[in-house]
Amino acid sequence: MSFEVVSTNPVVKAVVEGSAPRAAQLAASRGLLPLPQADLLELLVGLASSADAEIKENAAETLRTQHATDIDVAVRSSETAPSVLQYFAGQTELPAGVHEAVLTNAKTPATAIESFATRTTNGSLLELISFNQQLLIQNPAIIDAIIGNASRTPEAERRASEIKREFFEKERGAQQIANELRARGNEAAAEFLEKAEFAGDLGSSGLSLDDALFLAQHIEVPDRETDDSWLSLEYIEEVYEESEEQREATINKIIGELRTEEDEIPGDRISMINRIMKMGVKDRVRLGQKGDREARNILIRDPNRLVSSAVVNNPRITEQEVEVIASMRSISEDILRQVASSRQWSRSYNIMHQLAKNPRTPLANSMTIMTRLQLRDLVALTKNRNVPEAVRRQAQRLHTTRSGGGRG
């Protein structure tokens, strides 16, 4: 017969495997051999599947006569064979306490627990199974067995359903959050979650449902306000999969820049940076376009120009924010050029002045901007050792011309 013997007792092995004389097998099937309880139960369970009808019937009957207390002690032991645990998991007439011991024994096969969860009428035991999160994650068929059992308790159903959503229905989980956000009137956040790449496979992205909800709460711009026309072909090369090392470097860069501006970075901001950087480039672009001031303040520092460009194109970005961006020494030249060329922001004197003082502003833009600066600001530029020499010279020429050749 096909049966894996766990016992090290040679008598058990010989009887179960059929190498012992039939007389010994018959005696064993009636429980007449002097064996420890664990060995006896394993032997009887093995013989209960014997091809010999008489031995099989004897073993089944002997198992039925075992006292519930003895069975309870055996199934609580870590030494009990899995075959024994599986057998008693299938015996519906046993006391609930015995079944509880079987279900909580780490050696009980998952298939036995699934079978038990499918047919039991004891809702409390289904609830007990639902508390073993690791078991359910490793064996999702048990989740379905609990949910499909009409005797389940509300608590068993809730726990099994939550595990199913969290670990096996990520996309549905994100959609549920989106529906809740929409019901609260937060259309922008709902749209973001529905279209985010990470929402389709939270497990691979490393983001949890809590992370997704946290990020969605920083969305303030609905789709109808966004304009993707700036996403020209020149940016396509910026969309790529980053390595963990690249993402870690970006996190360190952003945190490093913030630390130069603030005495202390709150823990929740560092947490937000880490959550944001779990997203791919496309999702960070969408967050840059649709996110609130806090999200913009982080993403403008993203070294990927596609992400930082999205921040500048966010319809809710304020003149004060752009003025700060124009003064940033760590910002990409492409972003400074974008701000300088913007019809909207070029009307702001303060923004143009900050660009003129920023040594990273492309020289051609600085030269154009300086024609609009007031005399006092041109004088300041002639003395500013941080800007390129060409900018200082041009500032001096413009000042001299406007002042009629007088001193600056």
Do 187 and 221 lie in one domain? The reply is yes
Do 248 and 368 lie in one domain? The reply is no
Residue at 2 is within a domain: no
Considering only 56-70, 182-196, 206-220, 222-236, which range has the smallest mean pLDDT? Answer: 222-236
Q: How far apart are CA 99 and CA 381, in angstroms?
A: 84
**Backbone angles phi and psi of 53, in degrees to 5:** -60, -40
Residue at 1 is within a domain: no
* Segment 289-347, tens digit of pLDDT: 999 999 999 999 999 889 999 999 999 999 999 999 999 999 999 999 999 999 999 99
Considering only 25-34, 126-135, 197-206, which range has the smallest mean pLDDT? Answer: 197-206
Residue 1 confidence (pLDDT): 43
Residue at 369 is within a domain: yes
Write down which residue in 167, 188, 209 finishes a domain. Answer: 167
Structural domain for 80, as ranges: 10-167
Highest mean pLDDT among 170-174, 179-183, 245-249, 295-299: 295-299
pTM of the model: 0.57
* Segment 42-93, tens digit of pLDDT: 999 999 999 999 999 999 999 999 999 999 999 999 989 999 999 999 998 9
Do 100 and 190 lie in one domain? The reply is no
Do 132 and 89 lie in one domain? The reply is yes
Whether the per-residue pLDDT at 286 is higher than 90: the answer is yes
Q: Over the chain, what is the mean pLDDT?
A: 90
Tokens of 317: 């970005």
The domain total for the chain is 3
| Coil, strand or helix at 219 | strand
Do 297 and 177 lie in one domain? The reply is yes
408: pLDDT confidence band, cut at 50, 70 and 90? very low
Write down which residue in 125, 144, 167 finishes a domain. Answer: 167
| Coil, strand or helix at 272 | helix
Q: How far apart are CA 108 and CA 203, in angstroms?
A: 29
Residue at 4 is within a domain: no
- From first CA to last CA, the distance across the chain in angstroms is 105
When pLDDT is averaged across residues 215-229 and rounded to a whole number, the result is 90
Write down which residue in 300, 317, 334 finishes a domain. Answer: 317
Q: How far apart are CA 384 and CA 390, in angstroms?
A: 12
Do 257 and 271 lie in one domain? The reply is yes
Residue at 342 is within a domain: yes
